[in-house]
């Protein structure tokens, strides 16, 4: 089964092209116009073992909001497309990731029901060129578009860069686990569908 997808999304605020391979090796080529977001998504691809190509042109002269939000929507849309009917996947995933003094937990249910619960405890206004409020918004937008339950919590930490990076890594590892193919080829739900 080939689980790849290409998606293009164009609005008055952004133009995005994304290609994803769910069963890749973690290679990435990312250009969002935001250095910190590029860094986080490179880490996401590497630790999720997703092959990812992402080109974004956004209205950064306004601020980073539309670029971050629309990148999450397009990326999640590509994941959704690559997953198809979601049959044969593990569905649930979890990970704890430490980065120095920071520890982040991520639990995912690719359930068809969007339910993001994000508590990253970021204190700074920005990390690099990305507003901390938009880091949280990235995960909310991704979970809503993919229609998954996403619990992402900082358990401890003092350095916001470490907390954010651990969050992206934990998210990647949990998503990899949830999207992984199981030994069964049915839809992992008693309802018989994940929609």
Domain residue ranges of the chain, discontinuous segments joined by +:
4-179
Dist. CA 89–CA 47, nearest whole Å:
19
**Of the ranges 6-20, 140-154, 171-185, which one carries the lowest mean pLDDT score?**
171-185
Q: Is the pLDDT of residue 60 over 90?
A: yes
Going by their DSSP bridges, the two strands 51-58 and 14-21 should be labelled as: antiparallel
At 94-146, the pLDDT tens digits run 999 999 999 999 999 999 999 999 999 999 999 999 999 999 999 999 999 99
Q: Please choose, from the candidates 40, 2, 26, the residue with its C-alpha nearest in 3D space to the C-alpha of residue 171.
A: 40
- Note the pLDDT of residue 176: 98
Q: Please choose, from the candidates 4, 190, 170, 16, the residue with its C-alpha nearest in 3D space to the C-alpha of residue 98.
A: 170
Domain 4-179: CATH class, spelled out: alpha beta
pLDDT band at 191 (very low <50, low <70, confident <90, very high): low
pTM summary value: 0.94
Token pair, residue 176, equals 């990899």
């Amino acid at each position: 089964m080939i689980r790849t997808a290409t998606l293009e999304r164009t609005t008055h605020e952004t133009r995005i092209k994304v290609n994803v391979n769910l069963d890749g090796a973690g290679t990435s080529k990312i250009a969002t116009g935001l250095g910190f977001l590029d860094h986080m998504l490179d880490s996401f691809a590497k630790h999720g073992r997703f092959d990812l190509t992402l080109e974004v042109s956004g209205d950064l002269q306004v601020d980073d909001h539309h670029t971050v939000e629309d990148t999450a929507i397009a990326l999640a849309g590509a994941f959704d497309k690559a997953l198809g009917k979601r049959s044969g996947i593990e569905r649930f995933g979890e990970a704890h990731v430490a980065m120095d003094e920071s520890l982040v937990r991520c639990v995912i249910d690719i359930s068809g029901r969007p339910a993001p619960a994000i508590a990253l405890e970021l204190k700074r206004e920005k990390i690099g060129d990305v507003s901390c409020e938009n880091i949280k918004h990235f995960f909310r937008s991704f979970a809503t578009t993919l229609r998954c339950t996403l619990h992402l919590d900082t358990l401890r930490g003092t350095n916001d860069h470490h907390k954010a990076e651990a969050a992206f890594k934990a998210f990647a590892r949990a998503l990899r686990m949830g999207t992984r193919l199981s030994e069964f080829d049915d839809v992992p739900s008693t309802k018989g569908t994940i929609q």
